[in-house]
Amino acid sequence: MTGLAAAVALTSSMATAKSDYASPYGYDKTWNAALRMVRVDLGFKVLEKDDASGYLLFEYRSPESGPKATSGSLEFVRPQSGSNEVKVVAQIPQMPRYHEQVLLDDLAKKMHDEYGDPPAPRKEPAPPPDAGTDAGDDDNN
């Protein structure tokens, strides 16, 4: 019974393993670079893609997995207002987590090689200084 519980715990932790990268290059540049990296640079077969919804499904291959392909995905989370940073989440559930991280490191390097240094982060305008309390207001007396 203990062996079964350990197997279930190990399987569930592998299924939720994922790595992420915060791309400062904006959504369109990040999406396009990732698609080119997966399809052209790495030669993986793209199974499904949707740039509007922000996901890319592909067949992942590595020397460790042998000739058999395993499923992989990249998810692109659009930036919050006032930011240009896109969160890219990689998942390759059947492989050790470092495969996901290597994929994201390759994407970060490709982005820098193709687009140069990332743009400076947008700065939110400073809020106006607090005017303090109105000292001459005696409505409570």
> Could you tell me the residue ranges of all domains in the chain?
22-115
Q: What is the pLDDT of residue 118?
A: 86
Looking at the predicted structure, is the pLDDT value of residue 106 above 80? yes
pLDDT in tens, 115-132: 999 877 666 666 777 766
Q: What pLDDT score was predicted for residue 141? A: 54
pLDDT band at 14 (very low <50, low <70, confident <90, very high): very low
Task: Grade residue 3 by pLDDT with cuts at 50, 70 and 90.
Answer: very low
In words, the CATH class of domain 22-115 is: alpha beta
Please report the beta strands in 83-135, taking only residues with DSSP state E, as ranges in sequence order. Answer: 86-91
Examine the pLDDT at 2 and tell me if it is beyond 70.
Answer: no
Residue among 85, 100, 93 nearest 38 (CA):
100
DSSP state at residue 117 = S
Q: pLDDT, tens digit, for every residue of 58-97? A: 999 988 877 889 999 999 999 888 788 999 999 999 999 9
Residues with Cβ < 8 Å from 130, sequence gap 6 or more? none
Taking phi over 0 as left and psi of -120 to 50 as alpha, with beta for the rest, 116 belongs to left
